[in-house]
Structure 1
């Protein structure tokens, strides 16, 4: 009986440590991707979306108000449209890696939140 209690405590502590390690590992990766996201945006996206605008369809820009209006106000939603495209937006799944798509999506969301400054 005592052995089971000790084992449960140890397993619980191991689980907590694993969760904390996963959180610690993922947070710096997002911060490290920010410069990479900016570089990817400049080379792949700025042609149509300079400063968060849209030279094809003005209302469908990358400003926070438009992203919210069209349900694109999360990294996941932005990554989905970058990956698969939609309407006039080309798909980039064959041009960018999944990591690059995540990085540029995080960059776009961060820029929208700060007003593209």
Structure 2
């Protein structure tokens, strides 16, 4: 009986590990369904405040196309400059985005804004 009990505990433990790994893999795939470098950089460094193009700190400073156009920053270069150098309360991210990371994020952000931030 002790062997059967031990075997059952091992199977349950393995099953739980499998469930946890499937859950985290699914969450990663859902979060990064667009595996482009710009999307990955955005997810790592920007999405904490700019979820789906919004802004959890200052609602009016979002990444929606209407806002980008109103602020006259609806270009890759303008968005890249803000990502790199910061603006207002937002710090610059040049160090963490790496070489050309600002451009990659900006291209992805502008594409998302033009598509009304619809994912998938």
Does TM, scored on the shorter chain, surpass 0.5? yes
Cα drift, residue 84 of structure 1? 0.6
Q: Secondary structure at the match of 1:115?
A: coil
The aligned residue for residue 115 of structure 1 is: 116
The aligned residue for residue 105 of structure 2 is: 104
The aligned residue for residue 52 of structure 1 is: 53
Name the TM-score, length of structure 2 as normaliser.
0.67
Runs of 4+ in structure 1 over 4 Å off? none
The reply to whether residue 91 of structure 1 matches residue 92 of structure 2 is yes
Q: Secondary structure at the match of 1:68?
A: helix
In structure 1, stretches of 5+ residues that fail to align are 1-33
Cα drift, residue 98 of structure 1? 3.2
Distance 1:98 1:78 in 2: 15
Cα drift, residue 72 of structure 1? 1.1
Count, aligned residues: 84
**More helix by proportion, 1 or 2?**
1
Of structures 1 and 2, the one with the larger relative CO (CA 8 A, separation 6+) is 1
1:5-16 matches, within 5 Å, as none
1:30-49 matches, within 5 Å, as 35-49=36-50
Name the TM-score, length of structure 1 as normaliser.
0.69
Query: Structure 1, residues 3-48: CA drift from partner, whole Å, max 9, x if none?
Result: xxxxxxxxxxxxxxxxxxxxxxxxxxxxxxx711011111100000
